[in-house]
Structure 1
Amino acid sequence: METIVESVPAYEIGGQRWDRTMPDFNEAIAKAHAHHLRPRCLCWTETPGVEMYVARLSDGYLIKRMPNTGCLHATDCSSYEPPADFSGLGPLVGSAIVENPVTGVTALKLDFPMTKLPGRHVPPAASGASSSVASQGQKLGLRALLHYLWDQAELTHWKSGFDGRRHWATVRRHLLQAAENKTTHGQSLLASLYIPEVFAVEQRDAIQARRQRLWARAVPRQGEPQHLLLMVAEVKEIATARYGCKAIIKHLPDQAFALDDVLYRRLSRSFERELTLWGMESELHLLMVATIRLDQAGTPCIVEMSPMLTTGQWLPVDDGWDRQLVGALVRQGRSFVKSLRYNSQGDQAEICASLLDCGTLPCPLIIDRKHSVEVAKVINFFGPARDCGAPVWRWNPTLGDMPALPLPYPAGSTSGTG
């Protein structure tokens, strides 16, 4: 993601070795796309390589992983991803998330509406706390969609060289790129996605004009279903207004978002843990994914929303234990991928992160929030972690201090040994 000094990925395309530092690399992958050639990543020196594909983006071409192959790459390869079962992504691949390597398009199935019928209120989220918390069935809830975009943008990845380089402009740029070639109900996700630009006083009018052009999609039209927009933004404040309630968003000093009383009360009830931790820790960011509409007066209104906490480095965390572990990983300069819950519930044990600097296999780091003294239950819950032969680190916060983290292998000792 960020610009740091790291090894340059090499690919085999049409029998020739290429990497992105070569002057004709962009032309080579464009030709590979035109002739339906599959590049092979050469992160393992003793294998024929891992098959990939070329996707066409608005500003060029990009070599991407084939579906469900991220864990086949070397752990120090930029294309590596932990197995889908290391997070809440596993049950959604192939059902809620369908990637087509021929077209490069990924179809997403959502469990929340993106339109509002005339004269009707948008129905509340599914039973339980909220579908913003957990989806019913194999579809993406609001939180799961945000987690998917965060994963696709590789904002869950961390290396020591990233420290101090990740800002909102970076986050926004990679989220927008992650949304490219994604569709919902056959429509472009990017066309309905609003992420606030970094605000600058001298650019106020231009920023506002670009925002209004996108928001025009959500203007109500007589007798037609009203389109809803999807917004990803950082929350500055959620409070009562002169009438009703409002959300204040960072980088949007000239516009607040209306919340109705029902949504405001449900937010406080369903996300008390996240809101309390955010209120107490000034370093944390509170992200929000929401569907929004414009009323007849042009006021933006939040229809449904789900928050997500991140550290100062924009790494997602669920609670104080999660934050403690992620903080230790960052301070120690470790290379890791943060796991996300997607639709899974918060009372389950989870793989919090996977260390990528412990050899040829990822090292899953498990936090057991079920307060269980039976370690076997935690391992059993994560059978895929055990089956892949990886070492497993476990911490039950109710039983004692956080154990020492596994030691990293010497730099450069993980790849080329397959």
Structure 2
Amino acid sequence: MRQFSIGEQAFDEDASELRARLEQAYAERLRPLCRCKDPPLPMYIARVDGLHLIKRMPLSGRDHDPSCPSYEPPYELSGLGSLMGNAIQIDASGKALLKLDFPLTKKGARTPSASSPEASEAALRNETKKLSLRAVLHYLWEAGELTEWRASWTGKRGWGRVRTSLIDAASQMITRSGPLSDIFFVPEVFHQEDREGIAIRRATALTPAHASGPGPRKLMVSVAEIKAFAPARGGQKIAVRHLPFPLMIEEGTWKRLSARYETELELWRSSEDFHLIMIATFGISGAGIASIEEIAMMVVNENWIPFESIHEQHLLERLSRLKQKSTKGLRFNLSREQPVVSVTMPEQRPAPVALFIVPPGASGDYEKALAEMIEARPEITAWVWRVAEGEMPQLP
């Protein structure tokens, strides 16, 4: 059982008095310490659904003892490894300083940039100095612990919980323009009985996105679930769940988006159980129209776990029935031409297990990079499914 220190006091994880102490520590901005190691490791307190929960600091999972629930395998197995210390820097307070490769202001007419397929593929290959828009979405998902799953959570993760986790994650991130939370918007779950309160909170949250006279206009960053696409004059409009108005997107941007995310769109359309998640920079004109500047997307399953192929979804489906925790690996800035861990099983004994999926037609360079990745982590057991060779191997 985990133990935490808060101030001069120590608590077992299930201590009845811990809840009241967490509420007090949250108000006082105190950091709990996880005592799985000596010296203890700093954590932070998040408020989720009215409860105060202890969560690990950004990217500190591998510092915990392997027997601790906060432990995570090394981030070098995913696309996060190449970004640490470059595009993502953790300061003394535990905040993550993000270097972005997309603008948070708009100057005059929009010009195509990372939205084009060619530019996107180049940016998503080996870039380590800045975060693409997709990489920010992946980092929010990872920092919000939305990549983790175990069978006991079935039916307990809806958009409300996803939203809270994303907002908590964003509160630990800073951009060159300031705290990400200042410009971060995630639609609130709509409840008819609270429609007026939701409308007021939404209007307040969207204030920074409104045009305010001449000069560069500030943009906001939104993460939301896409409900549908529909034609509009000169472009497309995106209907977003829990949002009463669409987001507009220019025709040229829409064509580039469709080409860049053809796989994600195909997967999303294949099952009603899947969700399409977008991250976008956007602004609101003087006429009150919300328009997207840049956008990236990913598809997630019914448990809100991201996946990039139907084979990976089959693996996630098998793992979702297990009591053990599984953690999804994400690409961040890496292209599909480079291997990343699909899923890790950190609680597996005698050693954590890293599960890799080799897609059909993988090149020799892909296989070489995978072998080097596995050899670099002898403390972790590798499981490999080469799709071209047949059915999924037996799970550990």
Please indicate, yes or no, whether the TM-score normalized by the shorter chain is above 0.5.
yes
Structure 1 equivalent of residue 298 of structure 2: 308
Q: Is 1:368–1:378's contact at 8 Å kept on the other side of the alignment?
A: no
Corresponding letter in the other structure for 1:18: F
- Partners of 1:210 and 1:142 in 2: CA distance: 26
Question: When the two structures are superposed, what TM-score results if normalisation uses the length of structure 1?
Answer: 0.83
- Partners of 1:340 and 1:327 in 2: CA distance: 17
List runs of 5+ in structure 2 lacking aligned partners. none
Structure 2 equivalent of residue 140 of structure 1: 131
List runs of 5+ in structure 1 lacking aligned partners. 1-6, 43-47, 407-418
- Partners of 1:30 and 1:280 in 2: CA distance: 43
Structure 1 equivalent of residue 118 of structure 2: 129
Matched, 1:18 2:8: no
Aligned partner (choices 343, 346, 352) of residue 353 of structure 1 = 343
Structure 1 equivalent of residue 174 of structure 2: 183
Q: Is 2:338–2:369's contact at 8 Å kept on the other side of the alignment?
A: no
Corresponding letter in the other structure for 2:22: N
Aligned partner (choices 395, 399, 402) of residue 389 of structure 2 = 399
Q: Relative to structure 1, is the Cα distance of residues 245 and 398 closer, same or farther in structure 2, using a 3 angstrom cutoff? A: same
1:299 CA drift (Å): 0.4
- Partners of 2:119 and 2:367 in 1: CA distance: 31
Matches within 5 A, 1:161-240: 161-240=152-231
- Partners of 2:186 and 2:23 in 1: CA distance: 31
1:241 CA drift (Å): 2.2
Q: Is 2:235–2:254's contact at 8 Å kept on the other side of the alignment?
A: no
1:366 CA drift (Å): 0.5
Aligned partner (choices 112, 116, 121) of residue 102 of structure 2 = 112
Corresponding letter in the other structure for 1:193: F
Q: Is 2:45–2:52's contact at 8 Å kept on the other side of the alignment?
A: yes
Structure 2 equivalent of residue 262 of structure 1: 252
* Structure with greater proportional helix content: 2
Q: Relative to structure 1, is the Cα distance of residues 159 and 191 closer, same or farther in structure 2, using a 3 angstrom cutoff? A: same
Matched, 1:49 2:42: no
Q: Is 2:117–2:256's contact at 8 Å kept on the other side of the alignment?
A: no
Structure 1 equivalent of residue 68 of structure 2: 77
Q: Is 2:189–2:242's contact at 8 Å kept on the other side of the alignment?
A: yes
- Partners of 2:235 and 2:24 in 1: CA distance: 57
CA offset digits 1:178-202 (Å, max 9, x no partner): 1113111141111111111111223
CA offset digits 1:366-401 (Å, max 9, x no partner): 111263497962542414x64342211001101111
Q: Is 2:359–2:386's contact at 8 Å kept on the other side of the alignment?
A: yes
Q: Relative to structure 1, is the Cα distance of residues 171 and 61 closer, same or farther in structure 2, using a 3 angstrom cutoff? A: closer
3-state SS of 2:320 partner:
helix
Q: Is 1:40–1:49's contact at 8 Å kept on the other side of the alignment?
A: no
Q: Relative to structure 1, is the Cα distance of residues 201 and 127 closer, same or farther in structure 2, using a 3 angstrom cutoff? A: closer
Question: When the two structures are superposed, what TM-score results if normalisation uses the length of structure 2?
Answer: 0.88
Q: Relative to structure 1, is the Cα distance of residues 225 and 281 closer, same or farther in structure 2, using a 3 angstrom cutoff? A: same
Matches within 5 A, 1:31-50: 39-42=33-36, 48-49=37-38
- Partners of 1:376 and 1:134 in 2: CA distance: 19
- Partners of 1:64 and 1:201 in 2: CA distance: 32
Q: Relative to structure 1, is the Cα distance of residues 49 and 201 closer, same or farther in structure 2, using a 3 angstrom cutoff? A: same
**Segment of structure 1 superposing worse, 310-319 or 206-215:** 206-215
Q: How many residues align?
A: 388
